[in-house]
Chain A
């Protein structure tokens, strides 16, 4: 089985296209500020004591500082950066898990996050029960999911195991089921974190095939990694994020070169 990824012509982000009304993702001046107590105060009693004695300090962490991002429909954007640079925070803002402390978020279309496969799975329930629950967490009602369950079972290759509690599943089986449910329907915008550490090589290829199929039908894709080499070939554009800001943006090859150079310099 061989996969060929045809590189698309890079999308020009000129000022005209950037102001076009139908961008898939439009982030303006996004700031995410986490407040962390200097010493972790977790108890009410402790809090009251500190409050009364006037010793209550907290530290603020800016995960994203005034970030702007525009993504065209159908565009594939790769995001690189070191751990803690703000990549995952950015994807959380786009998937609406995090509400930024400042800035405007516009998302046109349905977002499917492949960030944490199988979030919400319960080990005492069967594979089939978990399909419905996980799909419900994505906002899909039971009647919409019902007709597509056989496809999910087939894709995850769980056939005879689907009615067993998932506590008996291997980690590969869980990852397969998680991916199959998350990609049950073609989304408008797909968010992928740390490209697919799912199961064995055969299944990985199948996953890439599905993502490729989404892409060819017009799904916008945002890929995040701390090593872009693996997917630079099929990104239209790359971003390099450092300390919550975009430090470089452009053709994947160029951005990657400066990223790996910057990596070596420090």
Chain B
């Protein structure tokens, strides 16, 4: 037999040799172990997402930098001229943009998880892949976009001669916590999305409401005092404090904000992960 091709090498022995469905742990634990085994995929898939995001738009990265700036300009004009908030201790554009970037990350990444899970249904019904890997990759790629968008924010701080503080170094931790929260919410909504195709539209409406219920374009102080306790039930209010205070006040967010954020984020992740993994058969056995 004449052979032009070199024979394929034996597969590397790093993968699970025996699978026994009767010996698998609870689906939530099994998915976690499988996620760890496929951790290489997470990095590669998030890099792919970033690459594709910037390949598609003409201006590429520049657009990511410009988009929040333009939105901020519009909102600054509208809100600081029409609504006239009481005097803030810091420039309104900085307050607005630092909060807006969080919400932008949250809505884009969760919507993407909902979409990707439906899209990767096609993929995951063809090759065995732990589906959570795609969700985590989505979060990581949007965290990267958020980090890039902090550059124009700091540009505005320079322009407005607003002081920088060492507290900014805690912002990445707040961003990671927001990522954990978004992952939990994304997995939860994605599971619903496996049942109903219109969940995306419903969720989009919900997101719009959520944005206005969160003090992002207005300060919490304009909310009547008797209502404020209800606002404190919103996880995004606490998360936004973590990533905004260092820019506006030049201070690390208060300890209670951190504790509440950690509780909400990991709580949401636990619930989302649990439901996503225990209902995984819904994704498989739906035709």
A contact residues vs B (CB 8 Å cutoff): 1-4, 32-36, 42-45, 47, 61, 92, 95-101, 103-113, 115-116, 119-120, 122, 124-125, 129, 132-133, 136-142, 144, 148, 151, 154-155, 183-188, 206, 209-210, 213-214, 217
Contacts and interface: CB of A to CB of B under 8 A. Distances in A.
Interface in B1-20: 1-12, 14-15, 17-20
Contacts of A44: 192, 195-196, 198-199, 202
Contacts of A188: 11
Contacts of B17: 108-110
Nearest to A117: B126
B255 interface: no
Contacts of A100: 21
A206 B55 CA distance: 35
Given A107-B18, A120-B126, 14 more contacts: A42-B198, A44-B192, A47-B196, A113-B127, A116-B126, A122-B52, A124-B55, A136-B44, A141-B40, A151-B6, A154-B5, A185-B8, A206-B4, A214-B8
Contacts of B4: 206
Given A144-B12, A185-B12, A97 B19 contact: no
Contacts of A106: 18-22
Interface string B7-46: 1111110110111111000000000000001101100110
Nearest to A2: B1
B126 A96 contact: no
B59 interface: no
B88 interface: no
Interface in B37-75: 37-38, 40-41, 44-45, 48, 51-52, 55-56
B55 A43 contact: no
Contacts of B287: 34, 36, 61
Nearest to A60: B285
B192 to A, nearest CB: 8
Given A119-B123, A213-B8, A214-B8, A95 B128 contact: yes
Contacts of B5: 154-155, 206, 209-210
Nearest to B56: A124
B129 interface: yes
B196 A43 contact: yes
Interface in B118-136: 122-129
A108 B18 contact: yes
Contacts of B108: none
Which 9 pairs from chain A and chain B are nearest by CB? A185-B11, A141-B40, A44-B196, A119-B126, A43-B198, A105-B21, A116-B126, A42-B197, A96-B128
Contacts of B40: 136, 139-142
A213 B285 contact: no
Given A44-B198, A108-B18, A187 B11 contact: yes
Interface residues of B, number: 52
A217 B10 CA distance: 9
Given A106-B19, A106-B21, A210-B7, A136 B45 contact: yes
Nearest to A100: B21
A35 B19 CA distance: 26
B191 to A, nearest CB: 13
A34 B257 CA distance: 46
A137 B123 contact: yes
A97 B55 contact: no
A166 B18 CA distance: 35
Interface in B194-217: 195-199, 202
12 contacts: A4-B1, A36-B287, A44-B195, A45-B198, A98-B125, A106-B21, A107-B20, A132-B44, A139-B37, A209-B3, A209-B5, A213-B8
B162 interface: no
B286 interface: yes
Given A43-B197, A119-B123, A122-B52, A97 B128 contact: yes
Contact of A139 (B7, B38, B122, B284): B38
A43 to B, nearest CB: 4
A213 B19 CA distance: 25
A97 B125 contact: yes
Contacts of A209: 1, 3, 5
A141 B129 CA distance: 14
B52 A1 contact: no
Interface string B227-260: 0000000000000000000000000000000000
B235 to A, nearest CB: 23
Contacts of B22: 104, 106
